[in-house]
Amino acid sequence: MTEIQSSAQVQLDSRLNGPLSNGASVNGMQVVTYISKGGDGHHDDYYRLFAAAAIDIGVSLRFMPRSSSVARRRGIWFYSMFDTWTTETARALLAAIFRSLAGKKTIGLLFRPGDCFVKRSFKSSFRRMLFGVVSRLRNVHLLSIFPFTVSPEISSVATNWIYEPQLWDLQYLGVPDMQNVEPLQAQILGLADKRLIVVALGSQCREKGFDYLAELWVSSAELRASHLFVACGVVLPDSKPSARRFQEAGGMLLDRHIDDAELFCLYRNADLVWSCYAPDYNQSSGIHGRAVQLGIPVVVRKGSYIDALGETLSHPSLALPYGAIGESISLLQKWNPRRVDQERTESLVRHMRDHSLSVLADALRGT
């Protein structure tokens, strides 16, 4: 990784090994306990981002793996993902309530605010009521990672909002050295042969729209003549039949873990990035966020949060009507956007970063 990322890890390690905080300050900065269950994907990226951004926010972070291990710790708690697994979410909600009563501050990022608004779902209604109450408690700041303009109802369960961190994190994390990716690039360009390259990244499953992507691919010889679909990432068991049909029809599939260098090589060679996810997966997407940061046009699901986000950001996005095979194929064949100008992209990312850090700083540094 880049020097920026290495520096972030040094900061992280020094804070992990530093003195325990009881809510005091370190070097004149407020100490904040950062709580995350850990793991791959968003968890690891958020972990490294907030380690690097802590100084810009004006705090010193103390990282701990989960709230149960810091149950007696004073000071501010910051959950990078407040609402993920059911058990962890319940624990975080209870902690926020009791800490509010004790006059202690809790900040949490809402990763899946859409789960509060699933129609005809008792669980979703209960979730909406609970988050609505907790977000209004004193000393509690629940921050949506979608702007309220994307879906105004989110404001009923969140105190404020920031932009999804993976829309503005590359300044801190950098881009990996892409040595030794020439064979992958040569394979893609050789197969494409002047066709538009549509890249689907990450785990390949129904929720991430892989089965729909495969269906579009096998349904149209005309689409296969004008586009190359490239799917890279581990295929989950339920999507194996779709993967087999996709490959048999000439789609490029790498059914394995993709490292960071390969990931950014794929971005570099993509004309379009696939973010057209299933209707029951209406949430943030790091794949989409990185595409926006790199100025790459995206394919999204019509009516999704990231469809509305594309309009807010004025980023080139093609919204497909999920399930309407013929219409989706026609839209893809008619759309041939260009990458966003680098200066415009940098200005957008800078705006998203500045807004997000300002909101986080206000929440973390306040009394």
Please check whether residue 44 is in contact with residue 80, taking contact to mean a CB–CB distance below 8 angstroms.
no
Tell which residue, 357, 315, 359, 290, has the closest CA to residue 148. 359
Question: pLDDT tens for residues 185-243?
Answer: 999 999 999 999 999 999 999 999 999 999 999 999 999 999 999 999 999 999 999 99
Q: What is the pLDDT of residue 9?
A: 39
Overall average pLDDT of the 11-37 stretch: 57
At 91 the three-state DSSP class reads helix
Backbone φ, ψ for residue 107 (5° rounding)? -120, 135
Q: What is the pLDDT of residue 177?
A: 85
Task: Please state the pTM of the whole predicted model.
Answer: 0.88
Tell which residue, 294, 289, 328, has the closest CA to residue 305. 289
Assess whether pLDDT exceeds 50 at residue 160: yes
Number of Cβ within 10 Å of residue 125's Cβ equals 14
What is the pairing mode between strands 298-301 and 272-275? Answer: parallel
Q: What is the pLDDT of residue 4?
A: 33
d(CA 57, CA 140) in angstroms, rounded, equals 18
At 108 the three-state DSSP class reads strand
Q: 179-216 burial, b if ≥16 CB within 10 A, otherwise e?
A: eebeebeeebeeebeeebbbbbbbebbbbbbbbbbbbb
Q: Show the CA angle centred on residue 124, arms to residues 123 and 127, nearest 5°.
A: 85
Q: What is the mean pLDDT of the chain?
A: 88
Q: What is the pLDDT of residue 17?
A: 35
Assess whether pLDDT exceeds 90 at residue 166: yes
Q: What is the pLDDT of residue 57?
A: 86
Q: Which domains does the chain have, with CATH numbers?
A: 3-173+348-365 (3.40.50), 182-346 (3.40.50.2000)
